[in-house]
Chain A
């Protein structure tokens, strides 16, 4: 898990902040910045608004820190405040949003069949040095219905566990698993054909021939 929090150190830090060491709040909130921003970005889908909402969220967390009861992880509590902030903004902007119109429910039927392939060549993380690959991955997330986007964001991008994701989003652990499964299937299907170009080329005896054929194919492809 990224930035896995230490609950005891956190509880101690919160006690000290409430006792007057306000500057410690900067350190307390730092590990939550990424998930807060990206959860909000997933909800409001606009960079500037997500940043503004993230700032508001952090101020609310600071002002209401005395209300944190330690029944959940601090980050979970912080994320539920972020979620409320994001949903509040969505409701205000409801009329100009189309997202609310295509909101899915968990029991809704859908085609979650993966892309059927026989030859998959792994795309190594090294390929992320190419900015286009990261852009393709972000676009694919952006194309998911919101209920799947939020789950995949917390589970696979921020690497939070099922329990914390469920608590932060106010849904059951079962719903997290179902949504994550569907999200991954949708992502695999939309990405499989687009990721091929980022896989390392096959070497071997006829490596040169493969290489030039790939090149010709790429040039001829519309994608």
Chain B
């Protein structure tokens, strides 16, 4: 079976997550060795995933946690401790 670029794109996300079957993975790897476009698509998609995993992209609003725990504390007092 020879796979083309479109096939590779369909599996990019699963490939990044290590969820493609072993034989398909071999085919994709073989395609990636010679296809500059798919390699770049894979690299850029993986790069996007890595960047989003960084806590600095989405930060809680300043003081969020303090305000939340204060409100909890009030609730605990009302309900009796």
User: Is A184 touching B13 in the complex (CB atoms < 8 A)?
Assistant: yes
Given contacts A141-B52, A184-B45, 19 further A-B contacts (CB under 8 A): A2-B55, A23-B81, A25-B72, A38-B58, A51-B61, A58-B68, A58-B72, A117-B40, A117-B44, A120-B43, A133-B51, A137-B51, A181-B12, A181-B14, A187-B48, A187-B52, A188-B41, A188-B44, A191-B44
Q: Is the CB of A134 within 8 A of B37?
A: no
* CB <8 Å contact, A184 and B49: yes
Chain A positions within 8 Å of B, measured between CB atoms, are 2, 22-23, 25-26, 29-30, 33-34, 37-38, 47, 51, 54-55, 58-59, 62-63, 113-120, 122-123, 125, 128-129, 133-134, 137-138, 141, 152, 156-157, 159, 177, 180-181, 184-185, 187-188, 191-192, 195
Contact A125 B54 (CB under 8 A): yes
- Find out whether the CB atom of A55 lies under 8 angstroms from the CB atom of B68: yes
A123 to B50, CA, bound (A): 10
Instruction: Compute how far the CA of A166 lies from the CA of B53 in the bound complex, rounded to whole angstroms.
Output: 19
Binding site for A on B (CB under 8 A): 9-10, 12-14, 16, 19, 36-37, 40-41, 43-45, 47-58, 60-61, 64-65, 67-69, 71-72, 75-76, 79, 81
Residue contacts A-B, CB under 8 angstroms, 18 given: A23-B76, A34-B58, A51-B61, A51-B64, A58-B68, A114-B12, A114-B45, A118-B36, A120-B44, A120-B47, A122-B47, A125-B54, A137-B52, A156-B49, A157-B53, A177-B14, A184-B45, A188-B41
CA distance A210 to B51 in the complex (A): 25
Chain A residue contacts of B60, Cβ below 8 A: 33-34, 37
Q: Which residues of B contact A116 (CB under 8 A)?
A: 37, 41
Determine how close the nearest CB of chain A comes to the CB of B22; give it in whole angstroms. 18
Interchain CA distance A117-B47 in the complex, whole Å: 14
